[in-house]
Amino acid sequence: MNLHEYQGKELLEKFGVAIQRGKVVESVEEAVTAYRELQEETGTDFAVVKAQIHAGGRGKGGGVKLAKSAGDLREHADNILGMMLKTPQTPGGMEGPGKLVRKVLIAEDVYAPDFDACKEFYISVLMDRERRSNVIIYSTEGGMDIEKVAEETPHLVHKEHIHPGIGLLPFQARKVAFNLGLEGIAFKNMVKFITNLYRAFTDSDASLFEINPCLKTGDDRIVAVDCKVSLDENALFRHPHL
C-alpha cells in the first residue's frame, strides 16, 4: 500500500525524522490560509505547492511550484488543484491521461534563504531479497532520477546492508553521513536522520522509504523534502491506524 507524500511525512515526523513542514488542502481558499499560517511560522514569503498523487516525477510535470507571494500561491494552487497531472511515472507517462489532483501540500521552502549552501541527497531504505537483509541506498546525487544516476555514474550510488536481526549499528549511520561528505552539525544531524528513518522503516513494517531529495539546509539541518512510502500489506493488521 502506497502512502501520499503528506501521509509519509506524518509517519516520519512521529519517528523524529525532520521533514519539510506543510499542510494538505483541497481548495484554493484553504491553500491561501495555509500559506498565511506558514508565513507567520517561518517568517518568509516563499512556499511550495505540491500535488498529492500516487506518482513521482511531479516536478517534471508541473506539479511542484515555488510561490514567492500570496498572489503566486493562489495562482499555482488554482492551476494544480483539479489538473490532470502527467509525469513520467503516471500511467502512460507524459503521453497518458495523467492523474487528477484532488489535494495539494502547501509546504515551507526549506531551500531559503541560503539556496547555494543547500545540498540534495538521495536516501532510501528497502529490503534486499537476494542478500536477505535490509539495505540503505544513498547518493550525493539527490533530487534527480536515481535510476539514471545508477546507470550513468554507478560509483555515486552507495549501499549499506543491515542485518535484520541485529539492526542498524551506530557505525553504519556514521558511515552513511561520512560518505555523503558531511561534517560538524550536519554530520550529527544526518546520523540522527538515518537512525530514525531506519526505525520508521522497521517499526511500520514498510517495504520502502524513499527520500528524494533529502536536503542539507543552509543552517545544517537535514530535512526530508519528498518521501515515498510503501507499506507491506501482509503486516497492515498490525497498524490499523495506517
Binding site for Mg ion (CB under 5 A): 212, 226
111 labelled catalytic: no
Of 6, 122, 138, 198, which one is the catalytic site residue? 122
Task: Choose which of 3, 9, 31, 56 interacts with ligand ADP (CB under 6 A).
Answer: 56
Size of site (CB under 6 A) for ligand ADP: 18
Burial class (CB in 10 A: 0-12, 13-18, 19+), 87: buried
62 binds, among Mg ion, ligand ADP, none (CB under 5 to 8 A by kind): none
- Residue-wise burial string across 169-194, b where 16 or more C-beta atoms lie within 10 A, e elsewhere: eeebbbbbbeebebeeebbebbbbbb
* DSSP-derived 3-state class of residue 194: helix
Provide the mask over 18-37, with x wherever binding to ligand ADP is found by CB under 6 A and - wherever it is not. Answer: --x-----------------
8 binds ligand ADP (CB under 6 A): no
The owner of cell 497531472 is 85
Residue pair 48/67 in contact by the 8 Å Cβ criterion: yes
Instruction: Give least dist CB 33 to Mg ion, A.
Output: 26
- Rule CB under 6 A: which of 138-177 touch ligand ADP? 143
57 binds ligand ADP (CB under 6 A): yes
d(C-alpha 89, C-alpha 56), whole Å: 6
CB neighbours of residue 167 within 10 Å: 12
Residue pair 226/212 in contact by the 8 Å Cβ criterion: yes
Task: Choose which of 109, 141, 160, 210 interacts with ligand ADP (CB under 6 A).
Answer: 109
Instruction: Give least dist CB 72 to Mg ion, A.
Output: 21
Radius of gyration of the chain (CA): 18
Helix pair 28-42, 70-80: axis angle to 10 deg: 140
122 labelled catalytic: yes
110 binds, among Mg ion, ligand ADP, none (CB under 5 to 8 A by kind): ligand ADP
Instruction: Give least dist CB 92 to Mg ion, A.
Output: 20
User: 213 preceded by cis ω (within 30°)?
Assistant: yes
Task: Choose which of 6, 35, 111, 198 interacts with ligand ADP (CB under 6 A).
Answer: 111
Which residues would be at the binding site for ligand ADP (CB under 6 A)? 20, 48, 50, 56-59, 64, 66, 107, 109-111, 143, 212-213, 225-226
Catalytic residues: 122, 210
